[in-house]
Amino acid sequence: MSMVGELRRKVVKYLENGIISREGGEATSTYLRKITRERNNVEVGLYSYGGVFEKGFNLGGRVIVGRYSSIGSNVRYFGGNHPIVHFSTSPFFYRQEWVDKVGGVKVQDIERFTLQIGNDCWIGGNVLITCGCHKIGNGAIIGAGSVVTHDVEPYSIVAGNPAKVIRKRFSDEEIDALEKSKWFDLTPEKLLKLYQFKDKPVQFANGCMEIFEKE
């Protein structure tokens, strides 16, 4: 990159960081969410933060992230597959110049997948998520360095290579109450009013539903 190009990149980065800071940082910046959606094909809900905004987070697919989720650094989602039934799996042969000469698979025809990460998920650093995983449920926790190959149920704690369920965070009754409450649609200010129930999922969920009923 030329000196002029590098200077331009730094100026743009400086201006973007200023806008993001004025909008409250990663947790609430609408501008950051806009450029992440346009550049990386990743939609990020309010109050989510971390590695989800990294350039290399989404490799070839589409990702939708809910609210209040915490994503560690160097998390990678592989949203596309190399064709294993061709003589070569190399993307070299997807190049348009080859397609124009001899036909074959165009890069835009390669199957792409969508990953949905729920609300209030916690994904540790250096996690790899393959295209075999389509959904990570609300409240799920994924241990650092795990390789996730299948869907993760709500409020499950998984870890390992391949990632396996260690345990559920709460009882089935508590998970059902949290899921029905849709608490993640409330603002932090409203949720803090229920802080006394932080370790009582059913009471917390009931309190959230009462707030919704009053609105």
Beta strand 164-168 with 156-159 is antiparallel
Question: What are the Cα distances from residue 44, in Å, to 37, 69, 123, 146?
Answer: 8, 9, 14, 22
Burial of 29 (0-12, 13-18, 19+ CB in 10 A): buried
From 82, 86, 134, 150, the catalytic residue: 82
Rounded Cα–Cα distance for residues 69 and 111 (Å): 27
| Catalytic-residue membership of 150 | no
Rounded Cα–Cα distance for residues 73 and 78 (Å): 15
Give catalytic residue positions: 82
